[in-house]
Structure 1
Amino acid sequence: MLPYIIIFSTVSIDGRLATKTGYSQLSCPFDKQRQHQLRAEVDAIVVGGNTVRIDNPSLTVKYAKKEKDPIRVVVSESLNLDPSYKVFSTPPMTIVYTKSDKSPEEFVKRGVEVRRFSQLVDVFEDLYALGARKVMVEGGGRLIWSLVKEGLYHEIRVTVSPRVFGNGVSLAQGEGFNGEEAPKLKLVDFKLCECKNEVHLVYRRT
């Protein structure tokens, strides 16, 4: 079984999560609130290892009321991560899923649980087994691409910010689909952001 998986991101007009140098500060304060409101509603927040290395996020709920802290999840095949990153401070609980055979000792010392996976679907099946019924994926581009390619998502929620990057990391950073193979989603909601300069879109798999 899989939890309900929501991909949430803020992108430039040309669909970039970040510039070629890694700059990714796109959200207005209202978009940040929207992001944190969803964090407060889910059971787990998932990011890729590269997002942790570049952004060093805490993945906590700051701008919304919450009943409990969602599990923080990092997917890193290589386990090439610094244990001092913010996401590895506890609480709340953090799980790292990896394919690496490196010793997880330094993470375990910090209260981080390290679990192995062979296919990406294993991560979400395991999260479901741990009680996660609704999961938010915040990036990065390579992880989002893998989820879209494998059909491991139910919604994509995107805020379009009034910036043009021209190059950098795409929302789905991968080899791409061939023509008609590309999934076609259904637009189920849209709104002009309270800042009057961004648009928030909600798409669902058909």
Structure 2
Amino acid sequence: MKTKTIYIITLLFVGLISNQNSFAQKLPVKKIPKASISKEVKKVKKVEVGKPTSKPLENTPVKPKKNNINSNSKTKNASNTIKKASNTKGSNTISNGKLSKNKPRAKSFNTIQQKQLEINKTLAKEKGNWTLPFKSTETEANRLGRSYVGPNYKVSKNGQSWLSNDGLKQYRKAVYKPKEKKRRANFQRGVKNENGKTVWVSNAHLDIE
């Protein structure tokens, strides 16, 4: 009895397996073409190997941009040129990348004190004849002459010349000079020679307005 039962169960089991195999054979199998498979593989490779996305990864170090050495050197040279221009005497201009030095600006002599300083300074070191770089009225010229010769000066017989107490400075009042066709005053500086006489070595002309 047991043997029959086992035999029947075995037949049923075998029948079920055979039915499943026949059903699987009847199902349609969709074949994927090789071309589409290769395209998908290429897409995957592009995603893995291609350029990174716009958002950089947190752990990815960002390489700093290299500075342009040539441009930096040019800017340094330009700044050094400007510094040199500002440190040199007179005004300087830069045009077409070249530094051109202009003549120094003329000094301003708006006050009588500035004119006195110029007279004393130039007569102390200059020799020969020259014209002062400013003009004055006759009244102002006399004030400058009185300041130049100092206190206790001596007046000549004709009253045109004032001589300092030590005899080494002289102011001559303004007179008309036919050759120059203008009125001029004179400031003179002298030195003593071996014989004790005064020799005038400096003579500054002051034009009268």
Shorter chain as denominator, the TM-score bin is under 0.3
- Tell me the TM-score normalized by structure 2: 0.21
- Tell me the TM-score normalized by structure 1: 0.21
